[in-house]
Amino acid sequence: MKWSSALSKLIQTYHRTVKERCLNMAGVPKYSMAYWQNILFAQAMLFILPASVIATLPGITYNLFSQRYVLAILDGMSLCIVLAIGLLGKIQVSYRKLLLVVVTYFVGFYSMAYSNLMPVGILYFFGAGMLGILILPMRYAFLWSLINTAISLAYGMAMYFNAGLHPKMGIMEWMYISLNLVFFSFLSSWLLPRLMAGIGGAFERQKKLANALRQEHRRVAEALQQVEGKSREIEEMVYFASHDLQDPLRMINGFVTKLKQHKEEQLDDKGKEYLNFALDGGLRMQHIVQNLLELSRSGQVKKSRREEVDLLRLVQNLEKILAEDISKSEATVEYYRLPKVQSHAQLLENVMQNLLTNAIKYRHPERKPHIAITAERKGENCQIAVADNGLGIALEKRERVFEAFYRIDSSGNDQRGTGIGLAIVKKSVEALGGKVWLQSEENKGSTFYFTIPDT
């Protein structure tokens, strides 16, 4: 346990040190090509340092034993330079990168000098070129293939003038080998910058898109805030207007009623008719104003004010309130096993009252109204349905019935409602955190469904 924690600490320190030395992101724009090159260099160093220790130490030991001292010294020097690049402080990152490329070429050179290590040398030249392209500025990408070409030519010339350089190989064979090095070097110089630019460009585009999206998001949020502010303003206006209208209206209706009670006898038939119109209009207006007030209040519900609501008792209570309408229309109301829910009693009562009154109001002329109320649990919600056997609602009007002041019979002959009832239902249900919808068939009946969260 101790060993493993000491080891992980050592690895962490190693990672931190190499990153501190080799990763310099000051002034480098995020996701730019330089950004990726810097990351690539730091990651490469994390790998190269231990790998070169593991690879070189046995080689040095072997060279010492087999008395190839020069090779051992050169290997030792290269290892020291690599360690210095990764771990020594106070060297600029750009110099570290250049030094890594140079030391790779250096290994290539002395490997070439040892005739039996020539393939290793060529690999190192290619590797040095690749490193140069990937970690140093891309505008120098072709410089590395030119260097590899120059090395190939120089080595070929040296072979030509001094046949002893590589006794087992002719100049033609060298040309064949070195041409491959030149070919792959140029291919890399051409391909790798394009690949890196493609990656950088893709990130750049993504960044721009993300920025544009963020700005758009902010604009939408601001617009939404403005709309919300405006709708709150309107709601308040409606509230105060309907609230303030109530008193004068009550007064007008009161006096018109008194006029009817005490002075109707003195009026002729026309006068009586006008008085009745005035009374009807006044009462209707009072109804509209009350509905408006209810509508503007229905959106204001505090989550903290949730309480246990017994749906059964709520419906039984509504039956009492609507007793006159129920008995006049000879309606039957059916329900059983209505649960208790965690909700807002007043809003729920508004919803149910509007749905029940509509089910009675919009009954079919040829049959007595029959209303069925059911409730069932749907996940974390309670879904309540109020079904009637009334007039039904045509398909194209089903969405619109929830709009304020929308009435199916807008001719003015239908005195039954104000067009606000279902708007109150929708607003109340949404304020409770639920949804409302309906299914209906013309001349057969409608079912209004709504959900309320119950957790």
Contact residues for ligand ADP (CB under 6 A)?
A: 354, 358-359, 361-362, 388, 390-391, 393, 401, 406-408, 417-423, 446
Q: Output the smallest distance, CB 222 to ligand ADP, in A.
A: 33
Helix (H, G, I), strand (E, B) or coil at 363: coil
Residue 22 · residue 86 · CB < 8 Å: yes
Which C-beta is closer to ligand ADP: that of 10 or that of 321? 321
Q: Output the smallest distance, CB 241 to ligand ADP, in A.
A: 19
CA distance 384 to 342: 14
Residue 391 · residue 324 · CB < 8 Å: no
Which C-beta is closer to ligand ADP: that of 204 or that of 349? 349
Going by DSSP bridges, is the β-strand pair 332-335/370-378 parallel, antiparallel, or unpaired?
parallel
- In DSSP terms, 383 is beta-bridged to 376, 451
Which C-beta is closer to ligand ADP: that of 145 or that of 418? 418
Position with the least CB separation from ligand ADP: 417
Q: Output the smallest distance, CB 255 to ligand ADP, in A.
A: 27
Q: Output the smallest distance, CB 276 to ligand ADP, in A.
A: 22
Q: Output the smallest distance, CB 321 to ligand ADP, in A.
A: 17
Which C-beta is closer to ligand ADP: that of 222 or that of 414? 414
Residues in Cβ contact with 348 at an 8 Å cutoff, skipping those fewer than 6 apart: 309, 311, 314, 341, 428, 432, 452
DSSP per residue, 22-86: H---TTPPTTSHHHHHHHHHHHHHHHHHHHHHHHHHHHHHHHHHTT-HHHHHHHHHHHHHHHHHH
Q: What are phi and psi of 206, to 5 degrees?
A: -60, -40
Q: What are phi and psi of 316, to 5 degrees?
A: -60, -40
Residue 134: CB atoms within 10 Å: 22
Which C-beta is closer to ligand ADP: that of 16 or that of 397? 397
Of all helices (H) and strands (E), which one includes residue 333?
Answer: strand 332-335
Check the CA dihedral 279-281-283-289 and report its sign.
negative
CA distance 46 to 176: 36
Q: Output the smallest distance, CB 258 to ligand ADP, in A.
A: 28
Which C-beta is closer to ligand ADP: that of 86 or that of 417? 417
Nearest to 339 by CA among 347, 331, 348, 330: 348
Which C-beta is closer to ligand ADP: that of 189 or that of 428? 428
Nearest to 130 by CA among 113, 143, 112, 114: 143
Which C-beta is closer to ligand ADP: that of 368 or that of 377? 368
Q: Output the smallest distance, CB 403 to ligand ADP, in A.
A: 8
Residue 425 · residue 337 · CB < 8 Å: no
Which C-beta is closer to ligand ADP: that of 340 or that of 398? 398
Q: Output the smallest distance, CB 260 to ligand ADP, in A.
A: 26
Q: Output the smallest distance, CB 235 to ligand ADP, in A.
A: 18
